[in-house]
Structure 1
Amino acid sequence: MHQLIRQALEQRAAANNPVRIALVGCGRFGTSVAAQISQIPGMLLVAAVDPKIANGQSALEAAGWTRTQWQQVESAKSAAVAADTGHAVLGPDEEILDLLNIDVVVEATGHPEVGAASALRAIRLGRHVIMVTVEADVTCGWALANEARSQGVIYSLTAGDQPGTIMELLDWAQTCGLKVVAAGRGTKFYPSDADGNPSEAFGRYGYNAELVERRRLNPNMYNSFRDGTKAQIEMCAVSNMTGLPPDVRGMHQPSASLHDIPMLFTSKAKGGLLENEGVVDLANAVSLDGQTLVPNHIEIGVWVVVTSEQGLIREDLSFYGLPTDPSGERALLYRPFHLCGVETPVTIAQAALLKTPTGTPQNQPTSEVVAVAKRSLSPGDVLDGSGGKNVGGIIERRSIVARDKLLPLGFAYGAAVNQQVRSGEVIPSAAVPRQTGTLVKLREAANPARDSSK
C-alpha cells in the first residue's frame, strides 16, 4: 500500500495537482500534521481554521507558507478570492472552507460537538474527513461514517494515533489469517491521577511554560491522558471499528510487561483475566505499587494478542520470537511507538488516492464512553468534559448504556447536573437537560430508538 501511495503522490506532484487539505483545529496534533504535509510532494495544506488565529498561523508556517503567501479571511467568499490568487487561507471557523477546492479535511479540534459539526459539514460538501477528534468519533462516529458512505467519501480515523495504529496492526493480523484474542494499547496510569485537575496536568508531566506555549498544549487534553479518560476513549474507537467489546466496564487494565500481555489477555480457563476473548483492553506500565514502572512495558505502543487454529502456525509464532503465553497458543504482536501527526498524511493519501480508510466505525456502535463523576456533584455543577476536573469517562458496551440510560461523555461538555451524583458514579442521562446539537441529531437520525442521550 505504501508504494502505491508514494507513486500516486509522485504523479500528483508531477502534474502540479496536489491533494488539497484543510486543517480544522491547530493545536499540537494539527500543527504536527501541517508540518509533515510540508515534507510530502503531492500534498498541499491550503487552509487552516482555528478560533485562535495565532494557532492557525503557526500551522501555516509549519506547512511552509510565508506571511505574504496566506491571507486571514472572515467569510467563504473572501476565502475563495484569496485562494484564486494562490494564497492559503486562515480563519476562525470552518465556514470559510465552503467555496474552496479541498479534497480532505483533517478535523483536530478535540471537542466532540465542534468536531461532529465540522466533519458533517465537510462530508456534505463532498470532502473526505480524517477524524483526529476521537472524542467526537466515539459519540457519533458511526453516524458520520454512514453519512460519508452515502456521499461517496471516506471518513477515517488517523494513522499514528493509537486507534489507527491498532487498526493497522489488527488488519495485518486478520489478513494473515490470525485470530484476534484481544487488542489494545499501553498506558501509564497512576491511581493518584484518577481525579486529576487540568490546572495541574502540565506540572505532572514536568512541562515548562515555554513548551506549553510553543506547542499549543491543551491542559484538558493532557489531563485526559493522565486521568485515564483518553485511553478509554481510544479503545472505544477501536471497539466500534472492529466490533470487539470491552470484557468488563472500564476494561481490566492490569500492570503488564510485554511478556505478560499474552498471558493476561486470554480466557480465565487458560489462566488469563478474560471472561470472553475477542475484546479490547489496556496494558498499564505502572506497577501494582502505583509508583514505579513495570520493566519492558509498552506505555506508548499498541498490541494485538493472536492465535491460530493451525498448530504449525502457533509453533511458528513462537519460533520467530513473539512473546507467548506458557502454552504457546497465544502470541503478542506489538508496535512500541505511535507518531501523532507524523503518520496522518498516510491516512490523507489513502482517502484521497485509494478511497480507503485507515479505520472507520461499523454501521452501529459496539461501545460507548460514559461520563463518570470525578468528585461529588450537586445540582448546578457544570460538567467540563474529557480531562476536566469534574468528569472523566470509561468504556461500556452500547447495549448496557442504552438499557441503563447512561450519559455518553460527549454530552458532558458544559451541561449542568440537576441532581446529586456521588464521586465515582456513572452519570445518568437524566442528570442533565436534553441537548439539541449536532451530536444528538446525528445519533437520533442514525438510530432514534436506541439513543440514550436525552
Structure 2
Amino acid sequence: MNDLLSLLARRVAEGRPLRVGLIGAGKFGTMFLAQARRVAGLHVLGVADLSPERARMALARAGWPEAQYAAASLSDARDHGTTYVGDDAAALIAADGLDVVVEATGVPAAGVSHCLLAIEHGRHIVMVNVEADALLGPLLARRAAEAGVIYSLAYGDQPALIAECVEWARACGFEVVCAGKGTRYLPHYHQSTPDTVWQYYGLSAEQAAAGGMNPQMFNSFLDGTKSAIEMAAVANACHLRPQPHGLGFPPCGVDDLPHVLRPRTAGGQLTHTGTVEVVSSLERDGRPVFRDLRWGVYVVFAAPNDYVRRCFAEYGLVTDASGVYSALYRPYHLIGLELPISVLRVGLRQEPTGYPQAFLGDVVAVTKRDLAEGEVLDGEGGYTVYGKLMPAVDSVAAGALPIGLAHGLRTLRPIAAGTIVRWEDVAYETNHPVVRLRRFMERTMTPEATL
C-alpha cells in the first residue's frame, strides 16, 4: 500500500494526477466518491449518470463542496482539477487525460457497452457492474488484454475480496478447497418479489421508500440472484468449478467453515474441492447462526501434510476434527469505500484486483412461478425469475438463458415454476450486440470449446 501512495505522489509531483471517470452514481458510486476526494492525487474527472441531478445529489451526500463539481466541461475539469457532471458516458470515456473508467451502473448491457468503449479508447476498466461480469466478463477481460488495458473486479465488493483470499492461500502453497461469502438465506426466498421483499428485511414499504431503497435491487440480494452472480465472478476469476447443483447455502458460522465446507468424502457438504459456496446466516428454521458471516468472505484451505497440520494446531487455527482443513475469513466488506484500492492498483501498477480468467461459472434464469405464454421477463430481483449458479459447461449444454439477458423478453410457451428458462423459450433479437457477444462466448470459451 505504501508503494501505491508513493507512486501516486510521484505522479502528483509530475503534474499527472490519476484521472478516473465514474459511470453510475448509485450507492456504490456514492460511497466511492466519499473516499476518492480524500486521496491526494486521485482526480475524479467526471461523473456520468442518466440523471445528472441524481449525480449532483450523490456528490453532495458524499461531502463534496458544490464548487468542486461545477466544471463547465470535461476539458475545464481536466485543466482545473475539478469534476464535470453529465449524462454522456461515451464523452466521459473519450475525454482527454482519462486513465481509469469505473463502471457502476449495475445494468448488464450498459456495462458491456461502456467496457467495450473503454477498451476502444485505451482506458483501464474497474467493473463494479458484476452483473455485466457474470454475463460476459471472460470475453471482456480477454479483449481488454488484447488491447493492452486492464480489466478488473472492484475491490470492496465481495468477489474481489474473495479473489484476494484465494490468491493468499495459493501463494502460500495451500490447496483451495472452497471460497465464498455469507448472506441471509432461506429456501423460500427464491420466490420473493419486490412486493414481498421488505417483510424479510423487517421494513414497511413506506420506510423503504423514505430511505430511497430500490425494492428490485434489494430483492436480488434476497432471492439468491446476487449471490449466484457474485459466485460466478469468483469461479471465473479464481479457476474454481461450481458444484453441479450450484449453491447450497448451508447454514454455517465462522467456526464451522472448515467442518461444513470440506468435501463429502471427508465428512463435509461439498461435491468436490476447488469450488465456491455461499453460507447462510440463518438456520433452516429461521434461527440466527452463531457467529455468522453475513457480511464477510472466506477461503477454506487444506494442510498438505502432517507437518503443516501440526503447525495449524500449534498456532491456534480453527480446523475440522481431522486438523487438515482450516479457514481464513474477513467479517466485513466496505463496498465503494474500498474502491480506491482497485483504481490505484489498476491505474498505477496495471494490476487488477481480480479478473475473469476462464468461463467456468454461469448464472441462468429460473422461473419463480408458472409463466404463461406471452409473459415478459423482468430480470434480476423481479417478479418472474431468479438467478441460479451453474457450471458453464452445463448451462451452455442446456441452452440456458443467462439472467443478465432475462429482461424484456417475451415467453414463447408456458414455463413451469422452478424451471430453467432456455433461449428457445423466449423471443430475442439475435443481432443485438450483447446477445451476439454472449452467444460467441458460449461457442468459444466453454471448457470443451477451449480444449
Q: TM-score range by the shorter chain?
A: over 0.9
1:253 to 1:171, Cα distance in 2 relative to 1, 3 A: same
Tell me the SS of whatever aligns to 1:341: helix
Stretches of structure 2 lacking an aligned partner (at least 5 in a row): 447-451
Per the normalisation by structure 2, the TM-score is 0.92
Counterpart of 2:400?
Answer: 406
1:215 to 1:281, Cα distance in 2 relative to 1, 3 A: same
Distance between the aligned counterparts of 2:4 and 2:444, measured in 1?
A: 41
- Residue 125 of structure 1 deviates from its aligned partner by 0.8
1:314 to 1:239, Cα distance in 2 relative to 1, 3 A: same
Distance between the aligned counterparts of 2:351 and 2:26, measured in 1?
A: 26
Tell me the SS of whatever aligns to 1:427: coil
1:310 to 1:45, Cα distance in 2 relative to 1, 3 A: same
Matched, 1:368 2:362: yes
Matched, 1:21 2:20: yes
- Residue 300 of structure 1 deviates from its aligned partner by 0.9
| Mapped contact 1:37–1:63 kept (Cα < 8 A) | no
Distance between the aligned counterparts of 1:275 and 1:249, measured in 2?
A: 9
Counterpart of 1:270?
Answer: 266
- Residue 411 of structure 1 deviates from its aligned partner by 1.1
Matched, 1:171 2:167: yes
Match of 1:130 among 116, 119, 126: 126
- Counting matched residue pairs gives 444
Match of 2:379 among 371, 375, 385: 385
- Residue 12 of structure 1 deviates from its aligned partner by 2.7
| Mapped contact 2:181–2:296 kept (Cα < 8 A) | yes
- Which moves more between the two structures, 151-160 or 199-208? 199-208
Distance between the aligned counterparts of 2:350 and 2:18, measured in 1?
A: 13
Counterpart of 1:434?
Answer: 428
Distance between the aligned counterparts of 1:87 and 1:342, measured in 2?
A: 20
Tell me the SS of whatever aligns to 1:276: coil
Counterpart of 1:326?
Answer: 321
- Residue 207 of structure 1 deviates from its aligned partner by 5.3
1:214 to 1:24, Cα distance in 2 relative to 1, 3 A: farther
Match of 1:226 among 219, 222, 229: 222
Distance between the aligned counterparts of 1:437 and 1:52, measured in 2?
A: 25
Give the letter aligned to residue 44 of structure 2.
L
- Residue 272 of structure 1 deviates from its aligned partner by 1.1
Matches within 5 A, 1:290-369: 291-362=286-357, 364-369=358-363
Distance between the aligned counterparts of 1:134 and 1:395, measured in 2?
A: 14
Stretches of structure 1 lacking an aligned partner (at least 5 in a row): none
- Residue 218 of structure 1 deviates from its aligned partner by 2.9
Distance between the aligned counterparts of 1:56 and 1:211, measured in 2?
A: 23
- Residue 42 of structure 1 deviates from its aligned partner by 1.6
Distance between the aligned counterparts of 2:205 and 2:80, measured in 1?
A: 39
Instruction: State the Cα deviation string for residues 36-57 of structure 1 (Å, max 9, x = none).
Output: 1011112111111111222211
| Mapped contact 2:184–2:282 kept (Cα < 8 A) | yes
Match of 2:233 among 227, 233, 237: 237
1:397 to 1:125, Cα distance in 2 relative to 1, 3 A: same
- Which moves more between the two structures, 53-62 or 232-241? 53-62
Give the letter aligned to residue 123 of structure 1.
I
- Which moves more between the two structures, 169-178 or 256-265? 256-265
Distance between the aligned counterparts of 2:119 and 2:63, measured in 1?
A: 27
Instruction: State the Cα deviation string for residues 363-418 of structure 1 (Å, max 9, x = none).
Output: x3001000011111112211111111111011101111111111111110111111
Matched, 1:191 2:187: yes
Tell me the SS of whatever aligns to 1:393: strand
Distance between the aligned counterparts of 1:149 and 1:215, measured in 2?
A: 41
Tell me the SS of whatever aligns to 1:262: helix
Tell me the SS of whatever aligns to 2:33: helix
- Residue 422 of structure 1 deviates from its aligned partner by 1.0
| Mapped contact 1:126–1:152 kept (Cα < 8 A) | yes
1:314 to 1:410, Cα distance in 2 relative to 1, 3 A: same
| Mapped contact 2:45–2:77 kept (Cα < 8 A) | no
| Mapped contact 1:38–1:62 kept (Cα < 8 A) | no
Give the letter aligned to residue 235 of structure 2.
S
Tell me the SS of whatever aligns to 1:277: coil
Give the letter aligned to residue 320 of structure 2.
D
Distance between the aligned counterparts of 2:303 and 2:120, measured in 1?
A: 43
Tell me the SS of whatever aligns to 1:183: strand
Instruction: State the Cα deviation string for residues 272-311 of structure 1 (Å, max 9, x = none).
Output: 112211111111111121x211111111111111013232
Give the letter aligned to residue 354 of structure 2.
G
1:283 to 1:388, Cα distance in 2 relative to 1, 3 A: same
- Residue 172 of structure 1 deviates from its aligned partner by 0.8
Instruction: State the Cα deviation string for residues 15-48 of structure 1 (Å, max 9, x = none).
Output: 4422111111111011101111011112111111
1:303 to 1:6, Cα distance in 2 relative to 1, 3 A: same
| Mapped contact 2:369–2:416 kept (Cα < 8 A) | yes
Give the letter aligned to residue 361 of structure 2.
S
Distance between the aligned counterparts of 2:9 and 2:76, measured in 1?
A: 29
Distance between the aligned counterparts of 2:63 and 2:79, measured in 1?
A: 19
Instruction: State the Cα deviation string for residues 211-241 of structure 1 (Å, max 9, x = none).
Output: 8678754322211111111111101100001
Distance between the aligned counterparts of 2:77 and 2:156, measured in 1?
A: 32
Q: How much is the aligned-residue C-alpha RMSD, in angstroms?
A: 2.2
Distance between the aligned counterparts of 1:85 and 1:164, measured in 2?
A: 33
- Residue 315 of structure 1 deviates from its aligned partner by 1.9
Distance between the aligned counterparts of 2:328 and 2:442, measured in 1?
A: 36
Counterpart of 2:449?
Answer: none
Give the letter aligned to residue 332 of structure 1.
A
| Mapped contact 2:31–2:62 kept (Cα < 8 A) | no
Tell me the SS of whatever aligns to 2:45: strand
1:189 to 1:347, Cα distance in 2 relative to 1, 3 A: same
Distance between the aligned counterparts of 2:9 and 2:443, measured in 1?
A: 46
Matches within 5 A, 1:275-290: 275-289=271-285
Tell me the SS of whatever aligns to 2:435: helix
Tell me the SS of whatever aligns to 1:118: helix
Distance between the aligned counterparts of 2:12 and 2:207, measured in 1?
A: 35
